[in-house]
């Protein structure tokens, strides 16, 4: 393996740091005001923020892109997001897709009045991704970013040639959401999510790294498709 994978926790979120031959790529930034915790975790790993060259936002929701401006300032990295989600971070818009399961609907209605008060710093992205995605060769990683809409219109995933897939909220595996790996309980279009999974599978994904919860074997999601 010519890369290393580090998991960074931000509240209920999982952010991932991929270390390649030419620096590091950060996938998601976590919730607003989480940058200090981010620095402490990097220090424990003996990694420097300045070695992060690219920040990929899997989508524009508050808990995945909330600290993007602060971490860009800290690292000097370019920030990439799909063009369909760009307005969320450019305007600092609070975003949380609707529930698509019974628990998703109940939990969202309970927590929305509290969560919507989150303050998200505005940021103009450096790289706007389109439906063709983007290679990560420049960063010494044998993989690419692909468009995987459904949770939001601009959701993306990072797929490495070795089979690791970092899918944001294309799946959930966190006990507050679900007791086992499954399709997300919040989404704009659940049917589109299933189509996006076909794209992920075509890219050879074997191990899934969700934005919420621990990694799991791709076979565990198959029955939902």
Condensed to tens digits (0 to 9), the pLDDT of residues 113-162 reads 999 988 899 999 999 999 999 999 999 999 999 999 999 999 999 999 99
3-class secondary structure for the chain?
Answer: CCCEEEEEEECCEEEEEEEECCEEEEECCECCCCHHHHHHHHHHHCCCHHHEEEEECCCCCHHHHCCHHHHHHHHCCEEEEEHHHHHHHHCCCCCCCCECCHHHHHHHHHHHHHHCCCCCCCCCCCEEECCCCEECHHHCCCEEEEECCCCCCCCEEEEECCCEEEEECCCEECCCCCCCCECCCECCCHHHHHHHHHHHHHCCCCEEEECCECCEEHHHHHHHC
What pLDDT is recorded for position 2?
83
- Structural domain tally of the chain? 1
Q: CATH code at 49?
A: 3.60.15.10
Positions in the chain short of pLDDT 50 = none
What pLDDT is recorded for position 8?
97
What pLDDT is recorded for position 200?
98
What pLDDT is recorded for position 3?
92
What pLDDT is recorded for position 119?
85
Query: Which residues does 201 contact at the CB level (< 8 Å), separation at least 6?
Result: 218
Domain that holds residue 66: 4-118+127-224
Backbone phi and psi for residue 63, each to the nearest 5 degrees, phi listed first: -85, -5
Model confidence, pTM: 0.97
């Amino acid at each position: 393996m010519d890369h290393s994978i580090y998991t960074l926790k931000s509240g209920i979120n999982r952010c991932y740091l991929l270390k390649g031959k030419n620096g590091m790529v950060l996938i998601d930034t976590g919730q607003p005001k989480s940058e200090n915790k981010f620095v402490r975790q990097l220090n424990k790993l003996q990694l420097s923020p300045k070695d992060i060259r690219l920040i990929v936002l899997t989508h524009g929701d508050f808990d995945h892109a909330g600290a993007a401006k602060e971490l860009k300032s800290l690292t000097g990295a370019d920030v990439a997001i799909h063009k369909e989600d760009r307005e969320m971070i450019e305007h600092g818009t609070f975003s949380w897709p609707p529930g698509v399961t019974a628990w998703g609907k109940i939990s969202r209605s309970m927590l929305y009045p509290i969560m919507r008060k989150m303050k998200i710093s505005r940021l103009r992205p450096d790289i706007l991704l389109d439906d063709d995605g983007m290679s990560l060769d420049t960063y010494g990683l044998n993989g690419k970013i692909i468009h995987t809409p459904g949770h939001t219109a601009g959701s993306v995933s990072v797929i490495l040639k070795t089979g690791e897939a970092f899918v944001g909220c294309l799946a959930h595996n966190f006990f507050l959401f679900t007791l086992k790996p499954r399709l997300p309980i919040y989404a704009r279009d659940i049917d589109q999510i299933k189509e996006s999974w076909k794209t992920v599978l075509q890219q050879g994904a074997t191990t899934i790294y969700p934005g919420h919860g621990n990694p799991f074997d791709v076979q565990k999601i198959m029955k939902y498709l």
